[in-house]
Structure 1
């Protein structure tokens, strides 16, 4: 359904996956990748949101430092992905999000949905850019919780996520009393991704249903 396009950022052009619905769009979404780059999973996520009526753009954020990089869901991929996101930094990631927003905002109300590292980028897109956001298992958000939301916010966590312990989820609840925070029983880290060991199809569908209801209201 989608296709590769090029978008402009403040630090140069990057590629992005652009998926369009076959109906009148309900709004637009920026889909923010995990630490594995703009891979087939993230493209599929963007395509799925297009199937539900949203124009979706997934910017290739790694293009700003290592163009064309995608990584496998294995130990080597995790190691390299962590190195790249440290090199890029949140400011670099937000530069790519801004580029996608600039591409979309003339025609649509825009929200952000991010996964893992991208979930924390989505959080910052809310607090710094004022965009409604959905964050899936954004474990790097804890040090950012002094930042104040500027738009509606939905956060998904897995109850059995070893990378985001219950006390970290509780910190989110304390810092973000107005946010919709969902903790899903039986779900680990990466429960939305069918290429990861912790994929949970039932929870992924429930979380998607909740996400679509949130987006319908937030982007109305």
Structure 2
């Protein structure tokens, strides 16, 4: 863990993997369950791919050291905590991570988010200029935020069997933002990338992971 400070003076923890010597940099944004073992493993996997990684503990705005179980009770508590944090505050934490990575020597910074983090990755790409490429996995409510074009390349991943993100929303995004890369995994549900969830789909996860890493590398590598 490392500590960072946002522009409004809020200090928060972040999971760090890789190092400043890594050729690439990415921000990993959590689900509504906190900096779980799964999210830390994602960070470590990116580090193994050559990335310097920061994952902000965005729940620190209301409660420190939050790690919830992948259960209905965890969902309920996570949604309650999320409701107490305005998006602009969370984006400030993400901006602090981007600033830290650039100060570490990285000229370009990417972002990838999962679930709630997937929406935050989209909002970062559309409301700020803090990142150079963005990836979202099963980010809910993106369809309600398509009025503004992203300022960087974006890649979206959805599960075709995700009951929380209907196909009508996926189509709405496609219609409004045809320039955005969008993939739908027909037999995958919400959270298909997390081995700790019943919806884990290894084939969909592996394909989405490969696409995500290739996408980020293609836009972040120095030419």
Normalised by the shorter chain, which TM-score bucket?
over 0.9
Q: Give the equivalent residue in structure 1 for 2:148.
A: 147
Q: RMSD between aligned alpha carbons? A: 1.3
Alignment of 1:54-203 (within 5 A): 54-106=51-103, 107-108=105-106, 109-130=108-129, 131=131, 132-203=133-204
Q: Provide Cα deviations, 1:127-179, integer angstroms capped at 9, x if missing partner.
A: 12232100000112121111211000000001111111111100110111111
Q: Provide Cα deviations, 1:103-132, integer angstroms capped at 9, x if missing partner.
A: 111311100000001000000111122321
Distance 2:55 2:80 in 1: 21
Q: TM-score, normalised by structure 1?
A: 0.95
- Name structure 2 gaps, 5 residues minimum: none
Runs of 4+ in 1 over 4 A off after TM superposition: none
- How far residue 57 of structure 1 moved from its aligned partner, in angstroms, is 0.5
Distance 2:31 2:86 in 1: 13
Q: For the Cα contact (< 8 Å) 1:24–1:53, is it kept in 2? A: no
Question: Secondary structure of 1:88's partner?
Answer: coil
Q: For the Cα contact (< 8 Å) 1:120–1:138, is it kept in 2? A: yes
Q: For the Cα contact (< 8 Å) 1:26–1:216, is it kept in 2? A: no
Q: TM-score, normalised by structure 2?
A: 0.93
66-75 vs 150-159, which moves further: 66-75
Instruction: Say how many residue pairs are matched.
Output: 216
Q: Give the equivalent residue in structure 1 for 2:12.
A: 14
Q: For the Cα contact (< 8 Å) 1:11–1:64, is it kept in 2? A: no
